[in-house]
Structure 1
């Protein structure tokens, strides 16, 4: 028998009519704020019914307690083929099962098998041992950026190259192939591209990784991918896992570095605090993860009837999880809409929660700490080169952030 959690109580009343869809429009001039309608629903009813584009009537969770409870409960499935997608577009007709190696779209025990093989490669200790190398890569890229300046797109000049070079080195991928791999990864994150374009990019990425896997089996080198060739993973599984790790490493941390820098440049008092106290950087990374929540939305499907926050979610029903509003819940974080680098932001859901919590979170932390601190030290006069409302945002991708971040430095 399942032991009830604190979130499971008697049924609570709810609005009679479901929401007509997932609110996505952010407040004008507020690139860091969640959609205002989502925030309003969190205050009024943090778990409520919602109609999906395919007609399914499921749920929307916007409050911290509900989102965290569902993320941590294995009675809710991550399997793609069981969920209803909350946005109109290529996925509203239903998703196919996750390809081999895609850990985000599978459940235990299959997920457990992959996770156990990979967890030891991304421990806190091992990632901290990488700090010196990350500092070397970051310093070299700052040299390149300085030579290009004094005005650059920070995304292309710094935020993308640093984590890309790190993940390529970690996996044993030739760094000369970085731009090709980033070009194949971008359509996988973009919800506006056609299914044909997305498929073509996926196939190209898989073909590249498969050739790399086969070469590592013949001539292993000192890297994670070579290590994994000694496991019981088949070539198909290893190709899928490597592609999954590569795509994640190329995109998510790059977005946090760029978007985090954007947020700091728009909050000069916080930027000054970080410049004045470099020891703030660890807390700054956690607060930026909470404040920005670039992995803004999750989706789960109930495998059985489950009570959460006083509501009965029935087997087969999909729940959309608004991580960005959960991380702004005033019941969990005081003054949550303020960026406060001195805040104790522990417990944020920026890396997820439960068995699907981000595998590479320790690597991401190291990269962000090093990159942000080094960037601000090298360029003490760094500032936006355009007004904030002219910075192009990634409004239609799985990972929120900036498409480009024009910056400049030197005499104003």
Structure 2
């Protein structure tokens, strides 16, 4: 029998609904897990045990009173670039140490409206960029957990919290989820609200979810989507509704497109071998599997994202750079300086290219239900000085399309490997349905670090 900290959102909601367990019992189990594992993993930027227990008890009182909510009683980790009004949000920088926001981000308000509660703040790389925080890979502390949503991925993978929220401007949800061995899901751009989230690149910034399973990701996302009038990228409530995220069975095997992107040469041999094994398993399970060449249009996609990210990042952090450059990391200072030298015409061309590529990707995916592709080069690198290469996420982030990674086993170093699936823009429910079919066809490893 599994311990409470080992359960995912779907099972926990069922146990809470049937009164087979309580949120307080869950929190007690999670605290014991954190006490055991946090000294080695360092996933949390802020965690108050007494506060977390009281929030769990409050949720139990709501349950006993007959109240309802899509996430009632579920604790959630929040990346430390997302404001929570009664917790410090330092954004991974000493410049904001001890900062308490006046109000919570919209996504946190939505979470609490659905009955969930913030358990604590998870570690982020500095301003959600490259300079890593103290988090280590829960499978081997000598290896990076990925980034920038490093604490969120590590906490979920290690059984410290059943769900966490992160952000992605290039590969900051998909890559750490793959490195740590949990599900990482980045919905279509504009579905999740960004108000109250530290901006980096307004054109590219997107929120994402870390869970233990695909159905868990669907449940959480359905509770959080919706129009945000203060977010210029936010989509109308008519785009998708919460009920669209009620996962349905895939009775017909899906049509899958195998994409070996322009950075395929960067994939390590173990990642390539596992990917080919996954493709063969999906074909054997009945999926229609065909290779898809993205074509020459996507060969400069990585440079387009870089231009947008650097140009907008330079604007976002210009004041901090002018006043506090000595307290910013060399990586961020370099981005600001390089981004400030970019010509406005190159920036606008890159933004226009982004929209063209989204349209072209949709056209190329007309005859498939989802793309399958690696989420990273391979296992997490044996370094704590950097968070790994996001290149295998870049095209999908640039286009703003939904992407999800699921764990598919381990490599020779004993570290997780993942499989990434990509859908058409705003066809998130279809992508999640296909992803769950693929998990059942391949088999999702139910392993957790010791």
TM-score normalized by the length of structure 2: 0.28
Using the size of structure 1 for normalisation, the TM-score is 0.30
Q: Pick the structure with greater CA Rg.
A: 1
| Higher RCO (C-alpha under 8 Å, 6+ residues apart) | 1
